[in-house]
Structure 1
Amino acid sequence: MPLLSRLGAVALQILIISNVCLAYPELVDKIRARQINIGSLRSSYDYIIVGGGQSGLVIANRLSEDSTKNVLVVEYGYVDNNPSQLEPSSATSYPSRDLFNVTTVPQTGIGGKRVSIYAASVVGGGSTVNGMLFDRGAAEDYDNWAALGNPGWDFAGLLPYFKKSTTFGTPDPAIVQEYGITWEPSAYGNGPIQVTFPSWQWPTIKVQWKAWNEVGVPTMRDGENGNAYNAYWVPNNVDAQSRRSYAKNRYFDTVSSRSNLHLLTGYRVNDIQFSSAKKAESVRIQQRGTPNGGSTTTIRANQEIVLCAGWLNTPAVLQRSGIGPQDLLSRANIPVVVDLPGVGSNLQDHPATQINFQYTRDLQPNQASLYTNQTFQAWAQQQWQQFRKGPMSMLVGNALATLPLPTMLSTYQSLISRVNSQNAAQYLPSTYSAASIRGYEAQRRVLMASYASLKNGIVEIPFSGGGGTSLVHEKPLSRGTVLINPSDKWADPIVDYNTSINPIDNEIFVAMIKFYRRWMQAPSMQQLGPQEQSPGASLTTDQQLINYATQGMISSTAHSCGTSAMMPQDQGGVVSSQLLVYGVTGLSVGDISIIPLIPATHTCATVYAIAEKAADLIKARAGNNPTTSSTTSVRTTTSTTRTTTPVTTPTTTGSGGTQSKWGQCGGIGWTGPTACVSGSTCQSLNPYYSQCL
């Protein structure tokens, strides 16, 4: 949900909002999903998916491909039937009805203000309300995940799923030629989500592209094939008519007639119930809006429960179910099923602040022309209403500069040395366990390699022709928490981003401001006559710039993640690389909360890949052949090669039954199956994880 140049956002909303509700009356009847009521529920389902957001609908689609398996999706929100949610204007207009109404605790690192969080409460989740900037991180972003003990989760392992989820639509050839828009066709497949570029760009962006090159930022041909660093073009997840292409209309509506797929909206999953052997057996649900302590309904899961309630509510459901930090559960009077201190820790997002320059000699037309030039405004409306083209087809822009730290800061090695010398616990929440601190230290090691890399961006600067934009920190060092309220476990979780608690994060913002100023001083920019409006040329010292940045800083750009991290258990991990929750069976997580390290990208495309891969892992556990092998190598990866050592495969199948070919089979803390099917052997990838290979 990226931030947008304010002029473009306001103009789009003013011009479009009067027309969108009447534009597609034929959609009103078709947009309603196949839903059931509480009385139509089966007593049990093979799979219960907690959360009908972006990842939940992807997984539901894939699991229900097997007509012998019954799938239930339970979603707290409702279907948004408003046709305006399909329009470009929805990229900057977030209906309150589709979001949770939650604010953080005071953020002491940015002046003690409380910050509104962005968490979707609607069928389709964040894909329903985001900014539709559809990019992937650099290869190193995902290779870092694998380096943290997650084999198969590097870029090579995820690229098949990036492809599987998308189809690229060729944009207007005239716009492509005029602006030099590039993309890599091989980075896309034949998947549900439609991806393309709009039929308009603002002329000033040509000058901006040239200016990046003049300050040492190369232009990359493509950001989707692992090259998402420096400056590159980014498409939107829209169809050829510039309508939002998202989880509901592409993954759910198209299969909603399947008799084995049920969607129940307006119900909260209170908790998960376990057998004496700690197998997840059922969920207890309660109708939204009914008093806590009221009647609940219990539904059994025959095979697996999959948590897809997002970064905010997946850890809350786990904690209310007795899986989480023992001290927190005890204070909340919740019986402990598994003392798993990492649940709700590792919260990350992309904090951002604003910078603004005014072009005194801007090219025509420009973003301001939409409301200052009546002739241009009338033409733009005509182009949109008649052809669905022109300026009103634009969303939040299509170009990013994701800058490596060495490009931006000559003293980057000194900064890295100071990070490495920090006492990690000093800047982490006091609730972090020793395991979570160890996990953070492991993250810091790979993060500092990325800080020194020329193939991984640390900051993001969106540009689309205007003089103002957001400055976004893509790899912050500060970490937060999502914890239930021990005095009222049914209340909204307590969210603390701890934004800019680590002082190095503020130094990164200072470097961003200075480099942006340098960009504005590039030779090509001088034809535009740029004049700094904020922070203002009079602010020159680092402390002045820190004060400016923190005063206007937001904690979130709607990319929150990491609260049920995929990491080794003794490093604060919550799920294994098979996405199974440690210490129990029959329970997995398939949403954005599993991300161990936030990638330098908007997270929508990554969540689709996670969910597609999760579905294949779940199918493999059930003995079904996945449709896209998660181990297919499609490129040469730069991640460290691991030597696998065969271990003796016991004859017992363990407490979880017969092991599948791709499943975990051993490691510290592992209590599940230890045998592999014929044709594969149990191989140790690290002390905490062995896999049938």
Structure 2
Amino acid sequence: MSTTNNPDYIVVGGGSAGNVVSARLGAGRKGSVLLLEAGGSDLSPFIQIPAGMIRINPQNYWHYELLPDATRGGAVDTWAAGKVLGGGSSVNAMLWVRGNSADFDTWAKMGAAGWDYSTLLPFMKSLESYEGGANAWRGGNGPQRVSEVRLKHPMVRHWLTGAEEAGLPLLDDYNGESQFGAAWSQLSQRKGLRHSTARSFLAPARRRGEVEVETHAVATRILFEGTRAVGVEYEKRGQLRTVRANREVIVSAGALESPTLLLRSGVGPEDELRALGIPVVADVPAVGRNLQEHPAISMTFEVTERTLNQELNPLSILKGGLEFVFRRRGPGTAPLSHAMLFGPPLEPEGWPQYHVLMAPLGLAEEKPHSTQEEVAKNRHDKQGVAFSDRSIVSTFMSPVHPRGRGTIRLESDDHRSAPVIDHPMLADPRDIEDLTAAGRKVREIFETASMKPYVVTENEPTRDVHSDVEWESFIRGHSFGGSHWVGTVRMGDAADPGAAVDPTLRVKGVRGLRVVDASVMPTLTSGNTNAPTVMIGERGAQLILKDHDQ
């Protein structure tokens, strides 16, 4: 076992939040920062070029197999989380969705003081440079570039007009004054390339010598002296190493790995830890609870016009490649969603009922399965897909605030043993109702005057789905997760037994340890979760610096 020099701060996890925290803590070299990342470099064309997303190397992911989900016919999902510099921001769909103001006001009402929308808005603005320019809601001078989708496909224009005909307002900016309505997607892109937090925050900090980065460094446990966190043990190339922190250890490993690391380190439900022979540092029952994920369904339609599926032949790829190289436009910049809609508002909560994504492309139909086990397992694997050879338009929809909750626990104290993840995704019938409403709204849009002339057919398996019973059967048989895991180390006030960290993100029962990532969210936000996770990194760094008078 070897030991490296002692930095002021150790950040575990170089993902969407961890890179932000590291860069902000190291700014001006007021404090030394060591960032430990389990994965490797993000310098792959399949990561940096948006259209390469579905060809990202499987080694750039953690692969977690869940317990069978009885609410979805025994489905056994594999969740793929980013294992590379940039984390989720290097492997996600690049969609930039802050969430609804009601999301954050609800956090504050649940005990997360200082996390209401009005308090967080300055942090949302300070981290970004929005292509549309700074205003009362948007930032113009931050490290993170945010741009509108650069490929304005005609079918997307028709779809947005159809959404307006179906009663939805068209928005210039769903991250601005109002979220309700339909709009072009906003993306974490810079000049047509993916702009992950590894590019926006970490890379400049590394060039300035403000952050030291150790890649392929898998954290095995947090080191404690009494109840104070003093360092981290990690494994690199089969060798165990330790490093001590002069000030704090910050865990930013994500909503699946952060609770797992805490549990292995003796912070969690006392009875579970003792049963595994793990010495208990602090009895914090909330660690690993409150797991949330967006259930999703898809509907696809064959259309008369060329879609991006036709841009995959050799001639079109060459033409599109030249357009990408010289103009940073064209199919190479294409994300997996070109437009989206939110609505309608739910009362009394004030947030949208559902979120819909639309793309002028479609994946090949699933191959038939020979056994029920094959049907249940890996229902939706983004690393195992291919584009259809037909002209397809796709939509994906989710209820923005699903009621289902899951757990993460350990099966062994061995850091090489995967955690046990249990998430009954559709246990609450209201989530079925929200998905049904979203599906019917999507069908309504495709039947409007602006869209109907271009539609050849609605594809299977939704074509003959009409009644509530048929919708429920379809949803339970074909839904999948949106890769938006949150909540497993949630924040709240000191008296809340369901909270694992306080509003300053300090882990309860210990000192010198914080969690700064999506796991601290009390509830899911309204939409994709990368932007609010980056904001948590920005806000978390400010809280840490404030405590150390920097």
Is the pair's TM-score, using the shorter chain for normalization, greater than 0.5? yes
What pairs with 1:487-502 in structure 2 (closer than 5 Å)?
Answer: 488=414, 490-502=416-428
* Structure 1 unaligned regions, length at least 5: 1-37, 171-181, 407-447, 625-693
What are the Cα deviations for residues 192-248 of structure 1, in whole angstroms up to 9, with x where unaligned? 1122124321112222222212222112232112522221233211112x1111111
Shift of 1:530: 4.9
1:118 aligns with 2:80: yes
The residue type paired with residue 353 of structure 2 is I
Shift of 1:308: 0.7
Higher relative contact order, chain-length normalized (CA < 8 Å, sep 6+) = 2
In the alignment, what sits opposite 1:255?
Answer: 205
In structure 2, the residue matched to 1:643 is none
CA distance 1:304–1:533, shift in 2 (3 Å): same
SS at structure 2 position matched to 1:45: coil
User: Match for residue 34 of structure 2?
Assistant: 72
1:549 maps to 2:475: yes
Q: Does 1:287 align with 2:231?
A: no
CA-CA distance at 1:603 after TM superposition: 1.3
**Which residue number in structure 1 is paired with residue 334 of structure 2?**
394
| Counterpart residue identity of residue 515, structure 1 | K
Q: CA separation of 1:584/1:389 partners in 2, compared to 1, >3 Å: closer, same or farther?
A: same
Distance 1:259 1:539, change over 3 A: closer
Q: Is the 8 A contact 2:23 2:210 kept in 1?
A: no
In structure 2, the CA distance between the partners of 1:120 and 1:390, relative to structure 1 (3 Å rule), is closer
Query: Aligned pair 1:527/2:468, yes or no?
Result: no
CA distance in 1, matches of 2:172, 2:135: 8
Cα deviations by residue, 1:225-272 (Å, 9 ceiling, x for unpaired): 2522221233211112x1111111221221214455321122222222
The 3 A distance-change label for structure 1 pair 489 and 68 is closer
Alignment check: 8 A CA contact 2:17 2:534 kept: yes
Alpha-carbon shift at residue 356 of structure 1 (Å): 1.9
**3-state SS in 2 of match to 1:467:** strand
> How far apart are residue 610 of structure 1 and its match?
0.7
Q: Is the 8 A contact 1:463 1:469 kept in 2?
A: yes
Aligned residues of 2:426 and 2:432 also touching (Cα < 8 A): yes
Q: Does residue 349 of structure 1 match 2:293?
A: yes
Correspondence for 2:220:
270
**AA paired with 2:217?**
Y
Over 3 Å counting, the alpha-carbon distance change for 1:62 and 1:376 in structure 2 is closer
Distance 1:280 1:217, change over 3 A: same
Cα offset, 1:385, TM superposition: 4.1
1:611 aligns with 2:537: yes
Q: Is the Cα contact below 8 Å between 1:91 and 1:132 reproduced in 2? A: no
Q: Which amino acid aligns with 2:121?
A: L
Task: Please state if 1:237 is matched with 2:188.
Answer: yes
Residue of structure 1 equivalent to 2:355:
460
Q: 1:93 to 1:164 in 2, by over 3 A?
A: farther
> Residue 472 of structure 2: SS of its match in structure 1?
helix
Corresponding letter in the other structure for 2:263:
Q
Decide whether the 8 Å contact of 1:166 with 1:191 is kept in 2: yes
Distance (Å, rounded) in 2 between the aligned partners of 1:354 and 1:164: 35
- Number of residues of Structure 1 aligned to a counterpart in Structure 2: 518
Per-residue CA distance 1:34-69 (angstroms, 9 max, x = gap) = xxxx97820x22111111222111111111124242
CA–CA separation in structure 1 for the residues paired with 2:259 and 2:212: 24
- SS for the counterpart of 1:354 is strand
Which segment is superposed worse, 573-582 or 211-220?
Answer: 211-220
Question: How far did residue 386 of structure 1 move?
Answer: 3.6
Give secondary structure in 1 for the equivalent of 2:263: helix
Q: CA deviation at 1:87?
A: 0.6
Per-residue deviation, residues 535-554 of structure 1 (Å, max 9, x unmatched): 34433322222121221211
Q: Which runs of 5+ in 2 are unaligned?
A: 361-391
What are the residue-to-residue correspondences of 1:220-619 with 2, within 5 Å?
Answer: 220-240=171-191, 242-259=192-209, 261-276=211-226, 278-288=227-237, 290=238, 296-359=240-303, 362-363=304-305, 365-371=306-312, 379-404=319-344, 449-450=348-349, 453=350, 456-465=351-360, 467-486=393-412, 488=414, 490-554=416-480, 556-569=481-494, 570-619=496-545
The AA in structure 2 aligned to 1:274 is F
1:46–1:304 Cα contact (<8 Å) kept? yes
1:184 touches 1:222 (CA, 8 Å); kept in 2? no
Aligned sequence identity (%):
28
- After TM superposition, the score normalised by the length of structure 2 is 0.88
- Aligned equivalents of 2:195 and 2:40: distance in 1? 18
Per the alignment, residue 367 of structure 2 pairs with none
C-alpha contact (below 8 Å) 1:311/1:592 kept by paired residues: yes
- Contact kept? 1:460, 1:471, Cα under 8 Å: yes
Show the 5 A alignment for 1:146-157. Answer: 146-157=108-119
Task: Tell me the distance in 2 between the aligned counterparts of 1:264 and 1:467.
Answer: 42
